Amino acid sequence: MARRRQLYEGKAKILFEGPEPGTLVQYFKDDATAGNGAKKGIITGKGVLNNRISEHLMMRLHDIGIPTHFIRRLNMREQLIREVEIIPLEVVVRNVAAGSLAKRLGIPEGTRLPRTIIEYYYKNDSLNDPMVSEEHITAFDWASVHDLDDMVALTMRTNDFLTGLFVGIGITLVDFKLEFGRLWEGDEMRIVLADEISPDNCRLWDAKTSEKLDKDRFRRDLGRVEEAYQEVAWRLGILPEATNSDMKGPEVMQ
């Protein structure tokens, strides 16, 4: 079988040329990094789980009218996506103080924020993804005022929907990161959700115990990393049952 041409390799995913113009194949690796690559490791089975979790969440978002780059899952580690022009921003949404916000502002982790806070980071590894304001974004033309309006509206709807979805399975959506792209259809341009939504880029805490069910288990060496990702997939109803820690490739329900 002919190999697809690789277009880009990131820390956790690889992008290949898609079968038709305007499509790409997104491959999910088991590689994990933290601190902009300072810490590296492998989380066995992570790619399989994130492919499935992201598929599930993107499809639910599509169902409520949020446009995404996702087309369909191809196999255990790959999904077909639309090729978009990635906006070089990480949009972070916070409901509860944690991570860099807790540290920077001295707010204890776990404090519910008075309202949802959106932050922007400029995607640039050599600069360590610095936090930027709307002023920077529009002045340097990374996105227009109109693009930003669309991104904020999509971000807030995504947060409302995902918060509710996770509450339903006993999980608090503490914070998460979104990326957006421009999708061109002739002369028309739409902003769509891109990248992935998974425990790699969300903070997910058990609602009762506050146990961390996300990549912080890797970042902070808390152990039981694979099990946390499996637990999220299981609660979302996309694994038949929680499996044990030596799982190499989890069984995925169709």
Residues near ligand TMP, by CB under 6 A: 90, 92, 98-101, 129, 175-177, 201-203
Of the pair 77, 177, the CB lying nearest ligand TMP is at: 177
H or E element in which residue 103 lies: helix 99-105
- Least distance from ligand TMP to the Cβ atom of residue 98, Å: 6
DSSP-based three-state secondary structure for 99: helix
Of the pair 88, 99, the CB lying nearest ligand TMP is at: 99
Of the pair 173, 192, the CB lying nearest ligand TMP is at: 173
| CB of 202 closer than 8 Å to CB of 175 | yes
Nearest residue to ligand TMP on Cβ basis:
99
| CB of 136 closer than 8 Å to CB of 119 | no
- Least distance from ligand TMP to the Cβ atom of residue 219, Å: 8
- Least distance from ligand TMP to the Cβ atom of residue 172, Å: 12
Among residues 203, 197, 214, 125, the alpha carbon closest in space to that of 155 is found at 197
- For residue 204, give both structure tokens: 């997910």
Of the pair 92, 148, the CB lying nearest ligand TMP is at: 92
H or E element in which residue 225 lies: helix 225-235
- Least distance from ligand TMP to the Cβ atom of residue 100, Å: 3
